[in-house]
Amino acid sequence: MSALLEIKSLSKAYPGVQANDSVSFEIQPGEIHALLGENGAGKSTLVKMIYGLVRPDSGEMLLHGQHFAPSKPGEARAAGVAMVFQHFSLFEAMSVAENITLGMEDAPARTELSAQIRKVSAEYGLPLDPDRLIGDLSVGERQRVEIVRCLLQNPKLLIMDEPTSVLTPQEVNTLFTTLRKLSTEGVAILYISHKLDEIKALCNSATILRGGKVVGTCVPENETARSMAEMMIGGELAMPAARDFQPGETLLELSGLSLPSLDPFGTSLKDITVTLRAGEILGVGGVAGNGQDELLLTLSGEIPVAPDMVRLKGEAIGNLGPVARRKRGLLAAPEERLGHAAVPEMSLTENAFLSGRVRNGLANRGFIQAKKRDAFADDIVKQFDVRTPSISNQAKSLSGGNLQKFVIGREVLQNPSVLVVNQPTWGVDAAAAAAIRQALRDMAEAGAAVMVISQDLDELMEMSDTFSVLAEGHLSAPQPAAGLSVEEIGLMMGATHKEAENA
Amino acid sequence: MLRLERRRQSSRIMFWTTPLIAVALTLIIGGILFAILGVNPFAAMKIIFLDPFFHETYGPYSRTQFLVKAVPLILIATGLSVGFRAGIWNIGAEGQFVMGAIAGAAVGLALYPAEGWWVLPLMAIVGALGGFLWAMIPAILKIKFNANEILVSLMLVYVSYNFLAAMVTGPLKNPDGFGFPDSRNFTDVEATTLPLLYEPLGLYTSGVVALIIVIAAYILMEKHLLGFQVKVTGQSPRAAKFSGVKPALIIAMCLGLSGALAGLAGLFEVTGPAGKLTTNFPVGYGFTAIIVAFLGRLHPIGIIIAGLLMALTYIGGELAQLVLNLPAPAIQVFQGIMLFSILAVEVFINYRLVWKKEAV
């Protein structure tokens, strides 16, 4: 059998980093091929070269044995290569069909396209109504739009970048069924994920990248998640030790926390009541778009609410802004690293100052204490193993995992009483994720309370003492996390979702 | 094939060399423009950039206009640059300049013919206050109703022009002026005259004040929390909210500061070089200062250099009109080319130009 796509010693260098160093591998027709690697291992660069977004410095690609060098995504699509990105490119105020039209060269007439969408989506078990607004769709449904958009072009190779990071376990199963069906029809799939269990369940073969080089290949079925993780990081993976949970005094109390939706497609928070005790890690599960961002913003103080809705050590602080809350010990780390938790164009030192000013006294009567600020940034970089040439580098020059370590480290090193984090390890490689989780656990051990909002159930199960689900703006009553299985939680999420919809 | 490639890290070198490249581009494109107009481009450039200082006949007069033009530009641009770095676009400095001049002048006229060292400082404070309050109109509309400050501040320029016309033909008209539409001449009374420190270059006390303000602005932007908050707001509004910046405060501060400095510049103008309020009082400093702010990379030190350069093109341009019979709009186009070039070459801070063969 001749290979569908053959990659021969592709190399690509960016200033200061060799993103890909003579990478070679093959994908057969109908193969589901996993691309594994830590953040910064060069996976994104590699798929961008295949999809025509980045030009390789050297090396060659063969598609169906023919020379293949797409200079733009349109050429790649014409050759039968499609890609579903981690971040969707959809307009919320437009319908499914309108969004799909936008991505097509010479799109057919609207009625014909709608019929095609219905047909293709039904065929692959991804039901979609072409006339619904994107803004009304769940994240899982939005992803379907992206997939159907690709399928309409009859691709020979489908590239998927972290497709399951936003899905419920049930939605993941549906997706996998679709992908397997595509594979039996001869479509090859290049699958990028950090979730090694999924790769084990789905993929026929895997190529492992480290530092821009291929360091191994394997058949995921014959490996354990742990052995693959170790290949990725090139060392032993530290597994967390079980933790003895002894709740202390109540630190954070939310009572009747409600917030009307801020934008037409947002979710309002409805009567959230929960307490966090010293030493407790509360895991908040649920699919993105169910009020996670809103919850973080009301806790960080970016959106003030009625004073009584948020109490810290008994004090009503709901109406206070971020600075006053930090002073009192309530800290937060938002999900979006670039543009929310950190300023992309600013240096790490300035970003350390961004949230560290108040508690660490980095300004004296308004004047910035440069030495203290730099020392603080230095501390974060050293203690959290943030890999950067220097603390004066811009935040945007760091890889996602390194910047996330910086953001979490910045909050942890301020010794908060309560820390709220949203998606602490989103898009972060296994080693960095383990380090971040360990740091949060150590903090709880030392007597702080931590709220982890995440869509990664494995992560929540690994970390949480108590667990609840945020769905449609409702927060379920927390239960002890020990003893809950991932399946049970998945059902819990689905159930809350349904109830809320019927209500 | 030439391509633009994104830099991982913004280039520090380019940040400071782009203005020089922009000036060079301006010289080339401007030269072509002059050539088309039938003027020897090298002669034109010599007249614009060298003759104001070195020409035997014109130089001695031209020179005295150098700082007269540069100082208000620097003063206004310094204020504007703070707002621009926060993403707050005060386009109406011209109006704040006029209103500051009227407010300060009104105090001077009310006190006429008072003598005393305190009269001029008082007028300066009221002048700054006038510009400040005028800039508060777009600020409050933006804070309360999210009104676009670009439009509001710009439209208020024309309101201020008409207000000025009403004032000089009404309450502020010179009672001994035979009905002409202008105010009393402030330089007739010592207490309301801006002291001239060094005549050959046109240096008034305002130059010293401007220098102090530029230094203060530098400290504000580089060493102070407020400056940091301004920059964060401009680069990443959500990160600014996360860090605890109050957007309303930044809007009010940025518009207020730029308004106050424009108003102060207006007052200096009326008590110094202009001498009195007339309908011809506004000459566009408030608009040209926008170019100066960008040419100076929104950096206080850069703005000083840019202000001096722009003043030079002003007086050199006048000379070119006189000597070469170039039309006045040609000089304005020349200044416009400069702004255009700056904005165009700015792309090289975040991108590099690479010469690439087709990838194999």
Span A327-351, pLDDT tens digits: 999 999 998 888 999 999 999 999 9
For residues A96 and A131, what is the distance between their CA atoms, to the nearest angstrom?
Answer: 6
First to last CA, chain A: 55
Asked whether the beta carbons of residue B239 and residue A55 sit closer than 8 angstroms, the reply is no
- Closest partner residue to A300 among B7, B226, B242, by Cβ? B242
Where are the strands (E) in A261-354, listed by range?
A: 269-277, 281-285, 310-312, 315-316, 330-333
Contact B58, B247 (CB under 8 A): no
Question: Which residue does chain A place closest to B350, by CA atoms?
Answer: A345
- State how far the Cα of A477 lies from the Cα of A284, in Å rounded to an integer: 10
Architecture of domain A5-233: 3-Layer(aba) Sandwich (3.40)
- CA-wise closest residue to B307 among B315, A109, A221: B315
Cα separation, A72 vs A59, in Å, equals 17
Separation CA B242–CA A301 (nearest Å):
8
Q: What is the pLDDT of residue A503?
A: 38
User: Are A69 and B246 within 8 A, CB to CB?
Assistant: no
Task: Please tell me the distance from the alpha carbon of residue B282 to that of residue B164, in angstroms, as a whole number.
Answer: 9
What tens digit of pLDDT does each residue of B67-103 get?
999 999 999 999 999 999 999 999 999 999 999 999 9
For residues A362-387, give the mean pLDDT.
Answer: 94
Whole-number Cα distances in Å, B267 to B116, B123, B315: 18, 7, 22
The verdict on B244 touching A (C-beta cutoff 8 Å) is yes
B243 touches A: beta carbon within 8 Å: yes
What pLDDT score does A73 carry?
A: 86
The answer to whether A219 and A204 are in contact (CB under 8 A) is: yes
Measured between CA atoms, the residue of chain B closest to residue A303 is B241
B352 within 8 A of B4, measured Cβ to Cβ: yes
Q: Is the pLDDT confidence value at A318 over 90?
A: yes
The percentage of residues in chain A with a pLDDT greater than 70, rounded to a whole number, is 92
Other CB atoms within a 10 A radius of the CB of residue B200 amount to 11
- The mean pLDDT of chain A is 86
Query: Rounded to the nearest 5°, which phi and psi values hold at B40?
Result: -60, 115
A237-to-A229, A231, A429 alpha-carbon distances in Å: 7, 10, 12
Q: What is the DSSP letter of A240?
A: P
Mean pLDDT calculated for residue range A302-316: 95
pLDDT tens, position by position, A126-169: 888 888 888 888 777 888 888 888 888 889 999 998 887 767 77
Alpha helices (H) along chain B: 12-36, 41-49, 51-54, 59-64, 66-85, 93-111, 119-145, 149-169, 205-223, 225-235, 237-243, 247-271, 285-295, 300-324, 328-345, 347-350
Please answer yes or no on whether A322 and B242 come within 8 Å at the CB atom. Answer: yes
The mean per-residue pLDDT over the stretch A409-431 comes to 90
pLDDT band of residue A443 (cuts 50, 70, 90) is very high
- Asked if B246 has any chain A CB less than 8 Å from its own CB, the reply is yes
Phi, psi (deg, nearest 5) at residue A274: -165, 155
B12 close to A (CB below 8 A): no
Q: What tokens were used for A389?
A: 């040439």
Whole-number pLDDT of residue B357: 57
User: A481-487: which pairs have CB atoms within 8 A and are 24 or more residues apart?
Assistant: A481/A283, A486/A169, A486/A457, A486/A458, A486/A461, A487/A169
**Range of lowest pLDDT (A17-26, A455-464, B27-36, B90-99):** A455-464
Ordered mean pLDDT values, 10 residues apiece, chain B (360 residues): 76 81 90 91 90 88 92 97 96 97 96 90 97 98 95 97 95 89 91 92 95 96 95 94 94 97 97 94 93 90 92 89 87 85 82 65
Q: Give tens-digit pLDDT for A233-283.
A: 776 655 445 566 778 899 999 999 999 877 666 778 989 999 999 999 999
Determine the residue type at B75.
Answer: L
% of chain A residues with pLDDT over 90: 42
User: Which pLDDT score, from 0 to 100, does residue B261 have?
Assistant: 98
Query: Which among A14, A323, A342 has the least Cβ separation from residue B244?
Result: A323
Give the nearest chain B residue to A327 (CA atoms): B244
Give start and end residues of each alpha helix (H) in A248-397: 292-300, 322-328, 348-360, 370-383
pLDDT at position A502? 42
B238/A58 touch (CB, cutoff 8 Å), yes or no:
no
In chain B, domain spans: 73-199+214-284+293-300
Choose the closest CB to A340 out of B7, B239, B356.
Answer: B239
ipTM beyond cut 0.90: no
- List helix spans (H) across A152-258: 169-184, 196-202, 225-233
pTM (two decimals) = 0.77
Q: A with B: how many residue pairs have Cβ under 8 Å apart?
A: 83
Positions of CATH 3.40.50.300 in chain A: 5-233, 241-329+417-503
Measured between CA atoms, how close is A368 to chain B, in angstroms? 5
Helices (H), A301-455: 322-328, 348-360, 370-383, 400-412, 430-445
CATH dotted code for A241-329+417-503 = 3.40.50.300
Q: What is the pLDDT of residue A486?
A: 60
pLDDT score for A479: 85
CB A467 within 8 A of CB A283: yes
Rounded mean pLDDT of A36-51?
Answer: 83
Q: Quickly state the pLDDT bin for A412 (edges 50, 70, 90).
A: very high
Q: Is B2 on the interface with A (CB under 8 A)?
A: no
- Per-residue confidence (pLDDT) for residue A309, from 0 to 100: 95
Q: List phi, psi (to 5°) of B325.
A: 60, 30
- Helices H / strands E in chain A, number of each: 16, 23
Nearest chain A CA: its distance from B51 CA (Å): 42
From B340, B201, B256, select the one nearest B88 (Cα to Cα). Answer: B256
Query: What is the reported pLDDT for A499?
Result: 43
